[in-house]
């Protein structure tokens, strides 16, 4: 017999006698003798004993050093705490503060390395020789490593706060009041801040990994982790005064805003404003995604709807950044721009993974689970907005009406330093119509009347961009991730022209003339109206020139730019599908076919709202499939991809079912 764990560890033999009876043979056959251990087994046991003894000595040596190490850390932690709490708060210089922080962090990193090494020794000893209280030692090791990781993140948090306090002029002044010299300092400050924020994110990731390792500690891990997380994990302060655990997405929100300042080579110019118009609204989308990190927040249907909208918002931002880069890419710092685009891409991938996991749960079979004993108090609310998509905020009362405030800020626990960068901006929304929310715009002062010359200068500047912007959109269109954003880009330019039209009509009223003189108010109005009309016309043209997607077709139907027509009755399909298809035509205003829509049914008389598949198809691919093209192709010949634009149940119920009545 041998040990299942180690074949070299042998036991007694099993032998049978002449009658076929099996019994143990212990080896007790010689007078004065007894069972003898294998020399190999004896050598192995001696080696294991020696390893265990050496590992125990290392563990005991750490125990002797631990009080000194803890005293050093406690003293350094107290000195860092004096930076933002106590009598020395204002007496220390920036250099003295950073020296204390860096000294504390160096001690923490050294302690983390030492405990990690000793933890490895402990696990090796445990594998060789298990002791009854090893689970407690494992839990204590992981709790110590988590506490060290939390202090490392805390030290970086304090450093960022101290660093920002070094530049009070950038917290109080606006970009209009900064001189050229101040602008250069501002860019340098924001670049260093981004480095510090990136380091802070890595520290947070270490803290999260350490908490997970603590949670996985046998027998005691869950309790230790719950207690430690409440004490040391950063929180997010929400608009209603409550808080939730911070996620990586909350840190990335501040990174996005910092990158906006360092991407343009010349800050605070038109390109800086354009970049901010893309990224600033996106931060509220990231916050909405972060609030879905808790699996019990909101229903499954709500989570899927929000995640799909968030994924769409990331695609829109990606397209808008690409178009802006085509226009003014030479005025951007390429490395920083690429970092910004990669960050948006990473956010999109994370959202896609989160959505995939949510959809997987939809199809996952589970037995009925008991509901909670009491209903959870839901403080957050999902709202659907026109400009910002779906957001999540906190409801409150204001002037007798209910509003929803969107916006959060990350803070450290234990009354530590305030959040780096201060509280992020918030948006307030009120319900303008059932299930539709509009932003509560701040009251603005009466606009100053400008001279016609100033308006003419801006008019020429905007009109000069019309044709180049249309060409950029057309060039990029085939690479678009969300084609409807292309229409939005041109529509935003048209709205700027509309603003000038309203300003001229308000401040320079005059009688209409057939042929206005160049440079007059009426001439400017004519040019502005033509420019806005051209932008909107070309935006529709771009959408119609691309393969059909559900958002595009839905948009064109609502704009009455296309109509949906049922074509004949269901037709029997042969081949792999072997089902029935109902065809629909998507016609333009001239009754010309743009695309086709195919709804597949398993039976000829299946209910209209029960298709097995539904998709849009290109006009030239109306009657072809991937299989039919491959069947006709010559050996080795590559066939063209067949386009299928998915149609959702919602769109089927809204547009297709009424046509079948």
The whole-number average pLDDT for the span 558-574 is: 93
Average of per-residue pLDDT values in the chain: 86
- Per-residue pLDDT, averaged over 404-432, amounts to 60
Mean pLDDT of 396-403: 80
CA 199, 202, 208, 210 dihedral sign is: negative
Whether pLDDT at 148 is above 80: yes
- Give kind and range of the element (H or E) at residue 287: helix 270-290
Query: Given a cut of 90, is residue 465 above it in pLDDT?
Result: yes
- C-beta of residue 416 within 8 angstroms of C-beta of residue 154: yes
Nearest to 642 by CA among 547, 551, 549: 547
Mean pLDDT of 41-66: 81
Per-residue model confidence (pLDDT) at position 110: 95
Better-predicted residue by pLDDT, 55 or 318:
318
Per-residue model confidence (pLDDT) at position 3:
66
User: Which ranges constitute the DSSP H helices of 239-371?
Assistant: 248-262, 270-290, 300-328, 334-363
Over residues 273-325, the pLDDT tens digits come to 899 999 999 999 999 999 998 877 888 899 999 999 999 999 999 999 999 99
Locus of tokens 């300042």 = 261
Are 94 and 166 a contacting pair, CB within 8 Å?
yes
* Long-range pairs of 29-38 with CB within 8 A, sequence gap ≥ 24: 38/8, 38/10
Confidence grade of residue 467 (pLDDT, cut at 50, 70, 90) = very high
Cα 149 to chain centroid distance, Å, stands at 24
Residue 413 has pLDDT above 60, yes or no: no
Q: pLDDT (tens digit, 9 = 90+) per residue, 515-560?
A: 777 878 899 999 999 999 999 999 999 999 999 999 999 999 999 9
Listed as own residue / partner, the contacts of 636-642 with beta carbons closer than 8 Å and 24 or more positions apart are 642/617
The pLDDT value recorded for residue 415 is: 35
Tokens matching residue 570:
């269901």
Give residue 277's pLDDT. 92
Quick one: pLDDT at residue 173?
53
Q: Calculate mean pLDDT across residues 88-105.
A: 91
**Confidence category of residue 186, pLDDT binned at 50, 70, 90:** confident
Query: What is the signed CA dihedral for 67, 70, 75, 78, rounded to 10 degrees?
Result: -140
pLDDT at residue 374, rounded to an integer = 43
Q: Is the pLDDT of residue 167 over 80?
A: yes
Which of residues 87 and 176 earns the better pLDDT score?
87
- Percentage of the chain exceeding pLDDT 70: 87
Residue 119, pLDDT above cutoff 50: yes
Give residue 262's pLDDT band: very low, low, confident or very high (50, 70, 90).
Answer: very high
Pairwise CA distance, residues 112 & 149, whole Å = 8
Give, rounded to a whole angstrom, the gap between the first and last alpha carbons of the chain. Answer: 80
What per-residue confidence (pLDDT) applies to 420? Answer: 37
Residue (of 593, 584, 589) closest to 647 by Cα position: 584
Instruction: Confirm whether pTM is higher than 0.85.
Output: no
Q: What is the pLDDT of residue 239?
A: 67
pLDDT tens digit string along 513-522? Answer: 667 778 788 9
pLDDT of residue 447: 75
pLDDT greater than 50 at residue 373: no
Tell me the pLDDT tens digit for each residue of 621-645: 998 888 888 878 888 888 888 999 9
- Is the pLDDT assigned to residue 171 strictly greater than 80? no
pLDDT at res. 414: 35
Does residue 205 carry a pLDDT above 90?
Answer: yes
């Amino acid at each position: 017999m041998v040990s299942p764990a180690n074949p070299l560890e042998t036991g007694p033999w099993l032998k049978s006698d002449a009658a076929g009876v099996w019994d143990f043979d212990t080896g007790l056959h010689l007078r004065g003798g007894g069972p003898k251990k294998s020399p190999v087994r004896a050598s192995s046991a001696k080696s294991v004993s020696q390893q265990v003894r050496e590992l125990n000595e290392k563990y005991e040596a750490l125990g002797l050093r631990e009080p000194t190490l803890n005293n050093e850390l406690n003293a350094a932690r107290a000195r860092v705490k004096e930076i933002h709490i106590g009598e020395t708060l204002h007496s220390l210089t920036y250099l003295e503060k950073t020296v204390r922080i860096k000294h504390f962090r160096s001690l923490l990193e050294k302690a983390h390395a030492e405990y990690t090494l000793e933890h490895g020794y402990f696990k090796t000893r445990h594998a060789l020789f298990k002791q009854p209280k090893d689970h407690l030692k494992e839990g204590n090791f992981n709790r110590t490593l988590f506490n060290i990781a939390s202090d490392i993140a805390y030290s970086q948090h304090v450093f960022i706060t101290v660093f920002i306090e070094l530049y009070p002029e950038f917290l109080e002044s606006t970009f209009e009041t900064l001189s050229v010299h101040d602008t250069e300092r501002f860019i340098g400050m924001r670049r260093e801040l981004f480095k510090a924020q990136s380091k802070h994110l890595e520290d947070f990731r270490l803290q999260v990994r350490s908490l997970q390792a603590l949670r996985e500690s046998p027998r005691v891990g869950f309790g230790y982790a719950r207690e430690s997380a409440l004490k040391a994990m950063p929180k997010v302060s929400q608009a209603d005064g409550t808080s939730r655990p911070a996620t990586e997405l909350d840190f990335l929100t501040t990174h996005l805003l910092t990158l906006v300042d360092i991407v343009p080579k010349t800050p605070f110019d038109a390109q800086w404003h354009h970049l901010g118009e893309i990224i600033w609204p996106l931060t509220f989308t990231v916050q909405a995604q972060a609030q879905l990190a808790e699996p019990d927040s909101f229903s499954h249907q709500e989570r899927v709807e929000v995640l799909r909208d968030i994924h769409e918002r990331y695609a829109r931002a990606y397209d808008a950044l690409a178009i802006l880069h085509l226009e003014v890419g030479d005025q951007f710092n390429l490395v920083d721009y690429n970092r910004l685009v990669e960050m948006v891409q990473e956010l999109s991938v994370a959202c896609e993974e989160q959505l995939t996991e949510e959809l997987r749960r939809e199809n996952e079979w589970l037995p009925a689970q008991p509901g909670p004993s009491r209903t959870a108090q839901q403080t957050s609310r999902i709202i659907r907005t026109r400009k910002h998509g779906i957001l999540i905020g906190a409801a409150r009362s204001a002037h007798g009406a209910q509003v929803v405030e969107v916006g959060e800020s990350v803070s450290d626990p234990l009354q530590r330093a305030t959040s780096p960068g201060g509280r992020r901006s918030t948006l307030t929304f009120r319900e303008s119509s059932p299930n539709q929310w509009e932003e509560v715009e701040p009251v603005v002062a009466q606009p100053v009347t400008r001279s016609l010359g100033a308006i003419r200068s801006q008019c020429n500047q905007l009109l000069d961009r019309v044709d180049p912007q249309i060409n950029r959109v057309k060039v990029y269109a085939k690479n678009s991730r969300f084609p409807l954003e292309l229409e939005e880009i041109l529509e935003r330019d048209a709205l700027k022209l509309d603003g000038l039209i309203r300003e001229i009509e308000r401040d320079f009223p005059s009688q209409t003339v057939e042929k206005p003189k160049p440079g007059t108010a009426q001439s400017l109005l004519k040019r502005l109206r033509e420019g806005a009309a051209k932008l909107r016309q070309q935006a529709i043209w771009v959408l119609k020139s691309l393969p059909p997607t559900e958002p595009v077709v839905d948009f064109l139907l609502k704009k009455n730019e296309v109509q949906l027509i049922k074509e004949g009755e269901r037709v029997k399909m042969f081949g792999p599908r072997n089902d029935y298809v109902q065809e629909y035509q998507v016609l333009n205003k001239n009754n010309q076919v743009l695309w086709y829509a195919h709804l597949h049914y398993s039976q000829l008389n299946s209910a209209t709202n029960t298709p097995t598949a539904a998709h849009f198809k290109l006009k030239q691919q109306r009657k072809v499939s991937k299989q039919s093209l491959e069947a006709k192709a010559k050996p080795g010949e590559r066939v063209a991809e067949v386009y299928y634009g998915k149609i959702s149940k919602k769109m089927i119920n809204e547009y297709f079912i009424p046509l079948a009545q």
